[in-house]
Amino acid sequence: MELVLDIISWIFLVTGCFFCLTGAVGLLRFPDFFSRIHAASITDTLGAGLILIGLMFQSGGWGLVMPKLVLILLFSLLASTTASHAIAKAALKSGLKPEVSSADEPSEGESSSKL
């Protein structure tokens, strides 16, 4: 039974680390502020949540560790999403506009009328 819990725990831990790393790559690669904050908040919430769930399986019981991890998970889910929303809203109010994709605009060789 302990082996099964270890395997499940490591699946959650590795998956959470993967999402955290993809969020870090998104912070470096995405073009504007709003897509970067989206990458950071989504992957941070999912990655940290999966890591905390993996740690819950590692704790192995209902001692003092499990309730603390549950509280950290709940606080992280609430605080991370609320903070990213507040940061994005403050950026909009300060005049920062999202980048618009150039896929909607016609290129130099195309006409502007739609067929």
Name the amino acid, one letter, at 41. S
Question: Distance from CA of residue 80 to its chain's centroid?
Answer: 9
CB-based burial, 24-45: b 16+ in 10 Å, e otherwise: eebeeebeebbebbbbbbbbbb
pLDDT tens, 34-85? 888 988 888 888 999 999 999 999 887 777 888 899 999 999 989 988 999 9
State the pLDDT at residue 11.
Answer: 96
State the pLDDT at residue 103.
Answer: 61
Mean pLDDT taken over the chain: 85
CA separation for the pair 60, 84 (Å, rounded):
33
CA separation for the pair 49, 54 (Å, rounded):
9
C-alpha radius of gyration, the chain, whole number: 20
Question: Distance from CA of residue 90 to its chain's centroid?
Answer: 19
State the pLDDT at residue 112.
Answer: 53
- 70: tokens are 């549950």
